[in-house]
Structure 1
Amino acid sequence: MDGSAWVRGSPGAAGDMALPPTLVAFLEARCARYGARPAMRCALPNGMAGTLTFNQLAEASDAVALWLREELGLPHGAVVAVQGPNCLAFPVIFWGALKAGMVPTAINPLYTPREVSDQLKAAKARVLFVLDALAGKLDMVLEQAGPLPVVTFGIAEFFARPTRAFIHFMLRRVKRMVPPIPVEHRRFDDILARGQALRVRGGAERVRAYGEAVTGDDTVTLWFTGGTTGKSKGVVHTHRSLLASMALINHAFAEPWKTEPPRTLLVLPFYHIFGVGMMLQALELGGEIILIPNPRPLTNLKKSIERFHPTFLPGVPTLFANLANQDWFVPAAKPHLRLCLAGAAPLTPATQQRWRQVMGQPIHELYGMTECGLATATPLDGQDHTGSIGRLLPGLSARIVDAGGNEVPDGEPGELLLRGPQVMKGYLDQPAETAATLRDGWLHTGDVVVRDPGGFLRIVDRRKDMLLVSGFNVYPSEIEAVIAEHPGVLECAVIGVPDDATGEAPKAFVVARDPALTVDAVREHCKERLTNYKRPRQVEIIPELPKTPVGKVLKRELRLRAAPVSPFHAP
């Protein structure tokens, strides 16, 4: 590098695109354009599904907005919390809050009562919408978070009435999956009916007025980071920054949809920026989104793929690694799937190779983070870019620096710094964390990358995950990629553990594809492919890796599990 930031801009850069001023204006324009076209479907494992058209999404979200403002009496800027899986009620509540001039914050449905109350308090939420199946311990939540209005919704909201009644009966009476709710609450269908009555009495004009009061600099949503390395932080994005990120997505991936809008299979949850980004992309292009409430086990996807024939599959690398080993998946998905997109974690060459082998197409990799949305993407140019996260997208600036802040030349690893219109405003009520991450206008990502002369970036690892072994920098992702090449390995993760001789040493946690896989076989595989100090000194074969619901490996849990002494410690 020449000592100055390298910038890759071009016609169509985010800053040059014709963006609506707010997400509220964005949704209104798309709903008016696409009208009766299906916008979203919720597909259950048994094959039952419900559908919302763009018109229905507009009308239902209007009703939620009116209830929030005129029945509940919440002001502009109030925070609306939503906890639940991907289902049709979720986007209606999300957009309803935005139309009311409020700020939605999504809560991980797997959170404990303590974690839910922590997020409610941190976000200063004024109301909680929650899936009825998750509401059994709300007394514990509200005891810690303080009193809050609560609205419960079911998994089958907006399904046809007989289907919805059958599903609710089965869940409540037969499977007993909906517990008694120990706090005062309102039902979603009740507040929706109240809001719809207000809409009929002239409320639609008032909703427009609420939306027109929103500005591009207003907070659009609060995302709480996944906490894979530590406690979650609330990431503040504005309408302007999220729209800029959406524009980059469409700039990078609109090419396959010029003749036909996408049918997106959305396994990614709405409480993650990747999931919301893919929702925005589909709405922009008039495509339909197939929402999957629970992708585990993966056979839960089978009927939705066979029925709706998705053409676009975004996901995390572990999703693709596991789908490639499902006997039913290839014949069901291959005839229709046109674009696969991986993000949120590094894609290993072994997963890419296996996917090409069984599906006959590549997985396109992108790079982004909650703090900056989408930043890079591999181009859809027909070339093999395996191992790269692509080039910097238009309208962005980047620097790659060493620990001293000095720029490194092409081919040398360094931390990626980013600057652009989609970077977050900061961390919620955490000025010290914000100042440490946003310095002199640059977002310090914490990710170590290498840039080649063509401008393509390759993720080396998280800076925090880097090991120091006998004075050498060792990146766990390199070891993981090598181990993943073994045919008997399904997936793996590497962490650092204390070592008397080297200070720190790699430890590998391995999930076997082949039940006959042994620790010695993994060691021998690494011995042939890695220099001595990079080889795992400890190997442990485990049934599964701990992960977030998005699919990111929770290395902090592996560190807690790792003991100073192991029976598999290498001599």
Structure 2
Amino acid sequence: MGHDWHKFYPSNVLNEIDISGWDHIAAAMERACEKFADKIALSCAGTDMNYRQLDRLASHFAAFLQQDLGLKKGDRFAIMLPNIMQFPIAFMAAQKIGLICVNTNPLYTPREMRHQFKDSGAKAIIIVDMFAHNLEQILRETDITSVIVTSIGDQFPLWKGALVGTVMRLKGLIPGFKLEYTSFKEALQIGAKKQYTPVQLDHQDLAILQYTGGTTGVSKGAMLLQSNILSNMAQIQNCARGQIVEGQEVVLTALPLYHVFALAVNFLAFLAMGQRMVLVPKPIPIENLVKVFKKHPITVMTGVNTLFNALINNSDFQSSPPKSLKIALGGAMAVQESVNAAWQKLTGQRIVEGFGLTEASPVTHVNPLNEDMRPGSIGLPVASTEAKVVDENGKEVPHGESGELIIRGPQVMAGYWQKPDETAKTLKNGWLWTGDMARRDQDGFFYIVDRKKDMILVSGFNVFPNEVEEVLASHPKVLEAAVVGVADPNSSEAVKAFVVPKDKSLTIDELRDHCASQLTNYKRPKHFEFRSELPKTNVGKILRRQLRDEANHSGTH
């Protein structure tokens, strides 16, 4: 399969991937654990674990889940943990015995938990003790029969774990709960005395139910097969050929592993290459992350625009930017050019922008990791992937024109869990309709114009929030900005900007003048609102929908 964009691939990056050498996810991880047995796999809060230990603990936990809890291949297993060592252990254990992982945000409210657990039919869960009281409220309304509770410090040395637990309890961070449960430590002790029975797994087996963020309505479970995940692992590794060295990189993992971006890139793709994953359970306040940079020689990191922006505006980070960093990967939302320019000035590296979505495991596009990256572009489709920009009838539009981005490749999901109607709307003739408005240039580099649902209609003209936000963010006194459409009697919708000032002297008139110099009249914000912070998802993506709802419901714009 030859495409015009392949000529822009770096010379050592392959056009096609091959996953025939990997039977399933667990086999890929086990191979890494054998090959890099004595290398450090995980670092978290001053504690290290090598690959041999990771595989051994995952096997113990797998034995407990299978032999004691009676979980069988195809059962759904919820993992509700922050970035602590227990996450990779639990995930790998589940994959060893063919369980379907349901990755869950530990900050979910009981209502959100209820939906995800009822919808997935999860039978067991591992949850951190800080949030077990939320599970207690809805447990009877789910199919969950077994609960494993872990503490943040369970994988720390004994004295340190006890100290962390005591401090957290004194601070009231672990509310009381009365669940029947097995502690994670006890589960490992029980499992260490037994062995799990290997199960037959192939590429068509379901590996993960990864729930969409729910920012566009009810959260849906994307069915990601073993082949989907393995393909994306191979595609990510292929993109990195020649740029990162097997078994030598230190990978900063501040984005949560329960989110598909960090799960696929930091954990599965890079850990399978023998890299060291530095887990950060709480990257905010940003000072926490700056300390990690000072402690570890970070060579690779993933992040989102808001994370990069917070770092470049931190005085400690500014005074001592990382010297070891080779690659910073940006995704989940557009990386603003003003942020990228400031990051490059500070670190000497540009943020490599890519694109993906839950339904594609998630990576579909990335800029070349050499010098050929293009500012503002999400890059080229990854190996074995096709992408087109089409009109509403599925007809490809001329290069340079906007339309909906559709994708076809081995990483695209099998469909939405128990939602055939939703699946039919999204998967058409083997193509994934992303709901993102995009354009491509003559070389095959793609550019996201905006989310279809976020587009603002002003007097018949389409206004893309990304463009207006980019202009606002380029003002030296602006820290963050978000733009939404609000009802307007004269023009159908009007543009409203929510701005977090970097400098308290910032005025609306300054912003109006700034926008007037860079945007045509209909694109300029009509309304401005200053805020101390903007609502965000668990990975730092600004929640435009929430801002739009607030603005339209309040009636005051």
TM-score by length of 2: 0.95
Residue 302 of structure 1 and its aligned partner are, at CA, apart by: 2.9
Which one is further off, 310-319 or 555-564?
Answer: 555-564
| Residue number among 21, 28, 31 corresponding to 1:29 in the alignment | 31
Residue 405 of structure 1 and its aligned partner are, at CA, apart by: 2.2
What is the match of residue 464 of structure 1?
453
- CA distance in 2 between partners of 1:301 and 1:142 (Å): 34
- CA distance in 2 between partners of 1:42 and 1:184 (Å): 28
Residue 415 of structure 1 and its aligned partner are, at CA, apart by: 0.8
Residue 534 of structure 1 and its aligned partner are, at CA, apart by: 0.7
Gaps of 5+ in 1: 44-48
Do residues 291 (structure 1) and 283 (structure 2) align? no
What is the match of residue 332 of structure 2?
344
What is the match of residue 308 of structure 1?
296
What is the match of residue 184 of structure 2?
188
The answer to whether the Cα contact below 8 Å between 2:126 and 2:149 also exists between their aligned partners in 1 is yes
- CA distance in 2 between partners of 1:286 and 1:295 (Å): 24
Amino acid at match of 1:193: Q
- CA distance in 1 between partners of 2:319 and 2:234 (Å): 34
C-alpha distance after superposition, 1:16-44 (max 9, x if no partner): 3554121011011110100011101112x
What is the match of residue 550 of structure 1?
539
Structure 1 residues 384 and 394, CA gap change in structure 2 (3 angstroms): closer
Residue 229 of structure 1 and its aligned partner are, at CA, apart by: 2.3
| Residue number among 109, 112, 117 corresponding to 1:112 in the alignment | 109
Structure 1 residues 441 and 81, CA gap change in structure 2 (3 angstroms): same
Do residues 78 (structure 1) and 47 (structure 2) align? no
C-alpha distance after superposition, 1:394-427 (max 9, x if no partner): 2111221122322111111111111010000110
Amino acid at match of 2:209: L
Structure 1 residues 261 and 92, CA gap change in structure 2 (3 angstroms): same
- CA distance in 2 between partners of 1:7 and 1:220 (Å): 31
The answer to whether the Cα contact below 8 Å between 1:19 and 1:243 also exists between their aligned partners in 2 is no
What is the match of residue 92 of structure 1?
89
What is the match of residue 178 of structure 1?
174
Aligned length: 550
Amino acid at match of 2:121: K
Aligned to 1:135, the other structure's residue is in SS state helix
- CA distance in 2 between partners of 1:432 and 1:105 (Å): 22
Identity over aligned residues, as a percent? 38
Aligned to 1:221, the other structure's residue is in SS state strand
Structure 1 residues 383 and 399, CA gap change in structure 2 (3 angstroms): closer
Structure 1 residues 332 and 367, CA gap change in structure 2 (3 angstroms): same
Residue 63 of structure 1 and its aligned partner are, at CA, apart by: 0.9
Gaps of 5+ in 2: none
Do residues 127 (structure 1) and 92 (structure 2) align? no
Residue 380 of structure 1 and its aligned partner are, at CA, apart by: 2.0
- CA distance in 2 between partners of 1:20 and 1:330 (Å): 43
- CA distance in 1 between partners of 2:81 and 2:71 (Å): 22
| Residue number among 452, 461, 464 corresponding to 1:475 in the alignment | 464
| Residue number among 512, 525, 534 corresponding to 1:536 in the alignment | 525
Structure 1 residues 490 and 80, CA gap change in structure 2 (3 angstroms): same
- CA distance in 1 between partners of 2:109 and 2:4 (Å): 44
What is the match of residue 273 of structure 1?
260
- CA distance in 2 between partners of 1:177 and 1:369 (Å): 33
Residue 450 of structure 1 and its aligned partner are, at CA, apart by: 1.3
- CA distance in 1 between partners of 2:31 and 2:303 (Å): 28
Residue 259 of structure 1 and its aligned partner are, at CA, apart by: 7.3
The answer to whether the Cα contact below 8 Å between 1:267 and 1:291 also exists between their aligned partners in 2 is yes
What is the match of residue 46 of structure 1?
none
Structure 1 residues 394 and 560, CA gap change in structure 2 (3 angstroms): same
Structure 1 residues 182 and 6, CA gap change in structure 2 (3 angstroms): farther
Aligned to 1:511, the other structure's residue is in SS state strand
What is the alpha-carbon root mean square deviation over aligned residues? 1.9
The answer to whether the Cα contact below 8 Å between 1:538 and 1:566 also exists between their aligned partners in 2 is no
Aligned to 2:436, the other structure's residue is in SS state strand
Residue 537 of structure 1 and its aligned partner are, at CA, apart by: 1.1
Amino acid at match of 2:24: T
C-alpha distance after superposition, 1:94-128 (max 9, x if no partner): 11111111111111111111111111111100011
- CA distance in 2 between partners of 1:94 and 1:565 (Å): 43
| Residue number among 190, 195, 206 corresponding to 1:219 in the alignment | 206
Aligned to 1:257, the other structure's residue is in SS state coil
The answer to whether the Cα contact below 8 Å between 1:262 and 1:312 also exists between their aligned partners in 2 is yes
- CA distance in 2 between partners of 1:445 and 1:409 (Å): 19
Aligned to 1:81, the other structure's residue is in SS state strand
Residue 564 of structure 1 and its aligned partner are, at CA, apart by: 6.7
What is the match of residue 161 of structure 1?
158
Structure 1 residues 566 and 431, CA gap change in structure 2 (3 angstroms): closer
The answer to whether the Cα contact below 8 Å between 2:298 and 2:322 also exists between their aligned partners in 1 is no
- CA distance in 2 between partners of 1:14 and 1:308 (Å): 34
The answer to whether the Cα contact below 8 Å between 2:17 and 2:384 also exists between their aligned partners in 1 is yes
TM-score by length of 1: 0.93
- CA distance in 2 between partners of 1:132 and 1:491 (Å): 34
Residue 366 of structure 1 and its aligned partner are, at CA, apart by: 0.5
Which one is further off, 324-333 or 557-566?
Answer: 557-566
Counting only pairs closer than 5 Å after superposition, residues 99-498 of structure 1 correspond to structure 2 as 99-145=96-142, 148-172=145-169, 174-198=170-194, 203=195, 206-207=196-197, 209-210=198-199, 213-258=200-245, 261-277=248-264, 278-372=266-360, 373-383=362-372, 385-498=374-487
